[in-house]
Structure 1
Amino acid sequence: MAKAPKRRQRARGSVEELPSGALRVVVYAGIDPVTKRRHYLRETIPANTPKAAEEAERAIRRLQSQVDERRQPRTNASLSQLIERHLELAELDETTRRTYRGYVRNHIEPLIGHVKVGAVDADVLDSYYAELRRCRHHCDRRPFTEHRTKTQHECDQRCRSHECRPLGASTVRQIHFILSGAFRQAVRWKWVSVNPMPTGKPPSAPKPNPRPPTADEAARILGEAFTDPAWGTFVWLAMVTGARRGELCALRWSKFDLDQGTIVIDTSVAQNSSKKWLKDTKTHQQRRLTLDTETVVLLRQHRRSCDETAAKLETKLCPDAFVFSLSPDNSEHLVPDSVSQRYSKLAARLGIDTHLHNLRHYSATELIAAGVDIRTVAGRLGHGGGGTTTLRVYTAFVSEADQRAARALFDRLPNRPEQPTERERILRNPRAPYEAIAGKLSAAIESGLLPPGTSLPPTKQMAEQHGVSQGTIRRALDLLRTWDLLDEFRRINTAR
């Protein structure tokens, strides 16, 4: 009986002599899990090394041992399994955990999630980081269209041909930190004997590049925001305090002492899609800030407006009312994502390329430009470290430097636009159909098209003329009466 031919085994190592006389040792290490290409371990023996040939043989055996250790690790667990267990046991804030899981789902599992824990080494990490820097979508280099949504839709200008863009350096570093934490746990659990992460080289941390709005842009933003006084107050307070958006949404009236001109920031609103909850601030510390006199006046006006709105709806503000709310009794906070979207739309209307967080940069840079020391600036912004100890306790004393900071920031802020009267606001920017009709009739009366003593047509006829309901016409006529343009018999007043 004929014997089956023996399978030819791949030579696992070789030595080649370089033109310089040095010896290069090459050992086959399998297929790279990221690029799917053959992977080799290499080591060079200098030309002047005594007994270079023997040293090369020892290098071959050493590299072969490394390959064998990677192929037969202490556990068969994959990298995805390690990270999942690590995130389950790690003490992380809910928002941080959600962010990490997003990185794992989008950038770790598709590329190296299947790799055995013991097979991860410097070569795998370098290849992995190179792929992240090549394309953030990890494409296969074939052309395709990036659609604006995964659901059925009609393509528009937002659906465009894919262009490879690298993943941001800060995101790659975050992924490196996730892997480092997971492998530290793997060493503790004896899944691996050595942590490979110190051998990896993530990109350097990007240099901070804050882009606060200029003084002119800040003035334009405030002017547009104050067309709605409540929204204008929100934007003004963001400029003055430098608070994060979640902290502004979580502000309650009970945290203000308008007589003393102080505010305590100790809570933030977190959001995960439609889920929202209250939590500590980002650095888990509270801070007490001094407010300038103009901001105190503005907040008093905003409080009176909230009380008047609640009274009109036959209710009143609840004891723990939020400062900014869409509910009549201010019992519900604003949604952080909605606030950011509204600000972005405001900036887009003005042609300014900015976002809400840049108001935080604006506050910081203006304070520094005014000569306020860095420790005080860090304290007002709630940065970890940097002299914020006196701001961590509710009853902490507000230092003289903090008071100077409040005055310095106010001196550099643009002037708050004057508030138009209700009539001026309606004539300039009507928000409802009855306001638009009242504005048109007012303009006709002021221009003389409707002279004094003229009787207006019947309500039904006016409703048909303007394409609205009779109730809308009646509300418009009531508005004209409050402006003393119309008498009780629907005639234009002769004395105005």
Structure 2
Amino acid sequence: MARLAWGYTWCEWSRVRTMATAKRRRGEIENLPSGSLRVKVYAGIDPVTKRRHYLHETIPAGPTAEREAEKARTRLLAQVDERRNPRTRATLAQLLDRWLDVVDVQPSTRQGYVRKLDKHVRPLLGKEPVGRLDAETLESFYAVLRKCRDHCGGRKYVEHRKAGEHVCTDKCRPHVCRGLSPASIRQIHWILSGAFARAVRWRWIGVNPADQADKPGMPAPNPHPPTSTEAAQLVTAAWELDPDWGTFVWTAMTTGARRSELCALRWNRVHLDPGVVVLERALYVDDDGMLQEKETKTHQQRRVALDPETVEVLREHLERCEARCRELELDLPADGYVFSPAVDGSSPLVPDTATQKFGRMAAKLKLATNLHALRHYSATELIAAGVDVRTVAGRLGHGGGGATTLRVYAAWLSESDQRAAATLAARMPPRPDRS
């Protein structure tokens, strides 16, 4: 048989060319013992594990299996070429760890993220590969949270007050399913959406599944501020407990400040003569359980005007603090905390302590309210009195021109509604004479 110039016969050359073509062919189709075909396409180096990453798809056995396998191979290759394929087999837990390392948020905000992720996301979805999560998975996950915040799955058990060996009391009760609030589910959705968006930017995945999922609806704001009568009861009870505590509750009502801002307030930021307090810091508890200071929630300081009565309340509080220091031959520092368990104001009132103390006081009065509702009270009373929304928003520390103030904090008032009805009635034309 004649040989070509490079030493091969035509048959040998044909065989070599076929083998070279087979080697250059991208993707593999393997025969499995079950008769199914598995398509395997190389997709690069996994950025997390640093190993070679492949896309797989299994085609059931059948007369059209080979044709379907070729279609699958072409489809997977197109995803790789267009960079729409997941570049990693990393799990959602690994993505969340990496995302928390780089996301730039306030420490207290990060703590909220971590609590929600550890409580709800990691136990149910943490081991799932990021590339396999889709809109259906997320919507099923939200449905589970709506049914039970403890993810009981329908099983019955007793919720024990204590861990370990103990004698059960009436506080150890059978588990009753309580769904997570719509607001909390929506927060979890936005946390996941942010993590998936970063994964798309890193090309870990091709699309953000949270964008395709039906996100939880925005809960309708329904603030419940204390009424004027209830506010009077709370102030009276607070002053009977302790004048210092009464001052805290009074100031919270009149300024509408957040509890963390009041607890971080120092005397050098209280200007009694012009009647102004400057709110520029807030307290939070770090991961080690230590109190730390940070900027306010909106990262801006604000000046809140004080009425003459509140100025007098704070002046009397200052005189009490100075008198206690003189008894112990101490000086009250200018940067001492206004609300402090220490005589010299060296340590602040813990925000959680204030919340718990207020809750016990309200429960004793049989009032269904909390410390945060005093912000609702302040906003509602100011708006009902005719103060413009932008001014109210400025006192509360809201951005957005007052949209948040109106949407969340301005409760419906029957008095204002009756005034509106009377105003409209005065402008109506006379009724037609029916006689």
Which residue matches 2:268?
Answer: 254
TM-score scaled by length of structure 1? 0.64
Distance in 2, Cα, partners of 1:135 & 1:85: 28
Deviation at 1:140, TM superposition (A): 2.8
Which residue matches 1:264?
Answer: 278
Question: What letter corresponds to residue 238 of structure 1 in structure 2?
Answer: A
TM-score scaled by length of structure 2? 0.73
Question: What letter corresponds to residue 243 of structure 1 in structure 2?
Answer: A
Distance in 2, Cα, partners of 1:65 & 1:171: 39
> Which of 65, 85, 91 lines up with 1:78 in the alignment?
91
> Which of 129, 132, 142 lines up with 2:145 in the alignment?
132
Deviation at 1:9, TM superposition (A): 5.0
Distance in 2, Cα, partners of 1:315 & 1:375: 43
Which residue matches 2:34?
Answer: 7
Question: What letter corresponds to residue 189 of structure 1 in structure 2?
Answer: W
Deviations 1:316-369 (A, max 9, x none): 201211111111211111111111111111111111111100011000000011
Question: Which runs of at least 4 in structure 1 moved beyond 3 Å after TM superposition?
Answer: 151-154
Which residue matches 1:100?
Answer: 113
Distance in 1, Cα, partners of 2:289 & 2:204: 38
Which residue matches 1:52?
Answer: none
Distance in 1, Cα, partners of 2:322 & 2:142: 56
Distance in 2, Cα, partners of 1:377 & 1:196: 39
> Which of 211, 214, 225 lines up with 1:201 in the alignment?
214
Which residue matches 2:383?
Answer: 368
Distance in 2, Cα, partners of 1:65 & 1:99: 41
Across the aligned residues of Structure 1 and Structure 2, the Cα RMSD in angstroms comes to: 2.7
Which residue matches 2:247?
Answer: 233
Deviations 1:370-390 (A, max 9, x none): 0111111000000123279xx
2:189–2:216 CA contact under 8 A, matched in 1:
no
Deviations 1:167-221 (A, max 9, x none): 1111111111111111111111111122222111121010111111111111111
Distance in 1, Cα, partners of 2:179 & 2:75: 35
Distance in 2, Cα, partners of 1:276 & 1:267: 13
Unaligned runs of 5+ in 1: 11-56, 389-496
User: Are positions 1:298 and 2:313 aligned together?
Assistant: yes
Matches within 5 A, 1:345-360: 345-360=360-375
Which residue matches 2:176?
Answer: 163
Matches within 5 A, 1:401-440: none
Deviation at 1:158, TM superposition (A): 2.3
1:271–1:336 CA contact under 8 A, matched in 2:
no
1:310–1:328 CA contact under 8 A, matched in 2:
yes
Distance in 1, Cα, partners of 2:164 & 2:318: 44
SS of 1:87's equivalent? helix
Which residue matches 1:449?
Answer: none
SS of 2:260's equivalent? helix
Distance in 2, Cα, partners of 1:134 & 1:195: 25
Q: Give the 3 Å change call, closer, same or farther, for CA 110–319 of structure 1 in structure 2.
A: same
Which residue matches 1:178?
Answer: 191
Which residue matches 1:319?
Answer: 334
Q: Give the 3 Å change call, closer, same or farther, for CA 287–204 of structure 1 in structure 2.
A: same
User: Are positions 1:385 and 2:400 aligned together?
Assistant: yes
2:86–2:206 CA contact under 8 A, matched in 1:
no
Deviation at 1:150, TM superposition (A): 2.7
Question: What letter corresponds to residue 321 of structure 1 in structure 2?
Answer: G
Question: What letter corresponds to residue 344 of structure 2 in structure 1?
Answer: D
Deviations 1:214-255 (A, max 9, x none): 111111111110111111010000000000101111111111
